[in-house]
Amino acid sequence: MKKISILLLLSLLLCGCFALRMTVNNVGNAIFSSPQEIANKIKNPVKDSVRLSALWIGHSSILLQIYDKVIILDPFFQEKLGGLVMREKEPGLDIESISKLDLILISHSHMDHLSFSSLDKIAEKFPGRDLIFPKGVEYYLPNVDLNLIRIDNSKSQSKEFIGNPVFSNGIKITPVFALHPGGRYAFDTYTWKIQGATGYMIEYEDVTVYFAGDTGYDSLAFKKIGGNFRINLAFIPIGPCHNCDSSGFWFHTSSIEALQLFEDLKADYMIPIHFGSIRYFSDPNYPLFAMKKILQNPASKYSHLADKIKILKEGEQVIWREEQN
């Protein structure tokens, strides 16, 4: 029986079931600790006379404002991921502080991007708002009091890399390529193979924002996307990565790949996301340290990007005013 247990455990690890390893690493924290509090949370994140603003809620969650439109990206306000993994820091914004919301975007169905209770809270405060998600996510989406809009991302997941847009409240949303699997419960990624991940290009008035969601790096795809859009701001995930100055881990961009992705996109600014809150297998801030090290190295081919990268803390907001056009 002992041999069987060992074999089963090894098989799980071999299956790339890092969700299991994550759980084992974090279960103690989930029971005995609580997330670090964020001091001085912004109480009025929706501002007047804003051309573009971004408030990093934490992990991949962002409150984005483009002129009068307010969009929330991958809202994740839960304390625990999957009930078992405690986040390191609490969300940098309270839903109650959001005074206006026009649109919710979900990039894929993984638990750190599609949070049921967060959607419930948003639906309670902003019932009937548009919720856009890629094809495949409907299998993992409970019925919530929001206007569900499934976007067809099959074209963007093909060699064309850019899909057909949809409009919501005058905001143009185009699905773009993301190298990431769908699924939610560890093995279903392998067994059901439901595709359901996308990046988004968000266009309103003269502003274009790219939200990667979660993605691995693909040179051809991101160069093409960069050639087709004039991007003002790009939200690009860094990590998780075992060795962040080389390749990423399982369909994720490492710090160095995220910088290359940013360069391919030719965007004005980048805000790194997908770090800091969830302990995958090492310090959740390791991808950020690695990125800073690359940027500070004068010999690095990415050092010239340093001024274009806005590193936010959880709860911090960056604002470009209308007169800053």
Partner 1 sequence: MKFFKKYFIVLFFLAFSGTLFSQDLKEDKTNMFINWGLLQLVPSPTFFQDSDDNNARIQFGLKWHITPINISFNPNKYVSPFQMFMINPVRRFTGSAEIFVQPELAVYSFKYSELSIFGISTGPRIILPIYEKGENLSFSIGGKYTYRKNFSGDRDYYYGVEAGLYFFGGLIGLQYTHNFNTRTKYNFNFYIKYF
Least Cβ distance, residue 170 to partner 1 (angstroms): 24
Q: How far apart are CA 282 and CA 186, in angstroms?
A: 20
Answer yes or no whether residue 4 interacts with partner 1 by CB under 8 A: yes
Q: Which of 14, 32, 298, 325 binds partner 1 (CB under 8 A)?
A: 14
Least spacing, CB of residue 189 vs partner 1, in Å: 7
One residue of 72, 85, 194, 265 binding partner 1 per CB under 8 A: 194
Backbone angles phi, psi at 63, to 5 degrees: -100, 115
C-beta neighbour count of 193 within 10 angstroms: 11
Considering only residues 248-307, where is the footprint of partner 1 by CB under 8 A?
none
Q: Tell me: does residue 139 bind partner 1 (CB under 8 A).
A: yes
Least distance from partner 1 to the Cβ atom of residue 181, Å:
5
Query: Quick check: 193 binds partner 1 (CB under 8 A)?
Result: yes
User: 120, 145, 245, 316: which one contacts partner 1 (CB under 8 A)?
Assistant: 120
- How far apart CA 153 and CA 163 sit, in angstroms, is 6
The span from the CA of 109 to the CA of 162, in Å, is 20
Hey, which residues between 93 and 112 contact partner 1 (CB under 8 A)? none
Provide, rounded to whole angstroms, the least separation between the CB of residue 106 and partner 1. 12
Burial 103-115 (b: 16+ CB within 10 A, else e): bbbbbbbbbbbbb
User: Do 182 and 194 touch, CB atoms closer than 8 A?
Assistant: yes
Half-sphere exposure of 65 (CA within 13 A, CB side): 22
Burial 241-280 (b: 16+ CB within 10 A, else e): beebbeebbeebbbbbbbbbbbbbbebebbbbbbbbbbbb
Minimum CB–partner distance for residue 151 and partner 1 (Å): 12
# binding residues, partner 1 (CB under 8 A): 37
Q: Does 3 bind partner 1 (CB under 8 A)?
A: yes
Q: Decide: is 24 part of the binding site for partner 1 (CB under 8 A).
A: no
What is the DSSP pairing of strand 199-204 with strand 207-211? antiparallel
Taking CB under 8 A as the binding criterion, the range among 44-52, 69-77, 82-90, 312-320 that sits at the site for partner 1 is 82-90
Q: Which is nearer to partner 1, 139 or 281 (CB)?
A: 139
Closest CA to 281 of 42, 26, 73, 49: 26
Residue 39: which residues within 8 A CB-CB, separation 6 or more? none
84 sits near partner 1 (criterion: CB under 8 A): yes
Per CB under 8 A, 67 contacts partner 1 = no
**x-or-dash string of contact with partner 1, 141-170, rule CB under 8 A:** xxxx---x-x--------------------
Q: Which is nearer to partner 1, 246 or 303 (CB)?
A: 246
CB of 117 to partner 1, least distance (A): 6
Provide the phi-psi class of 109: left if phi over 0, else alpha when psi is between -120 and 50, else beta: alpha
Residues making contact with partner 1 (CB under 8 A): 3-4, 7-8, 11, 14-16, 78, 82-84, 116-117, 120, 138-144, 148, 150, 181-182, 184-185, 187-195
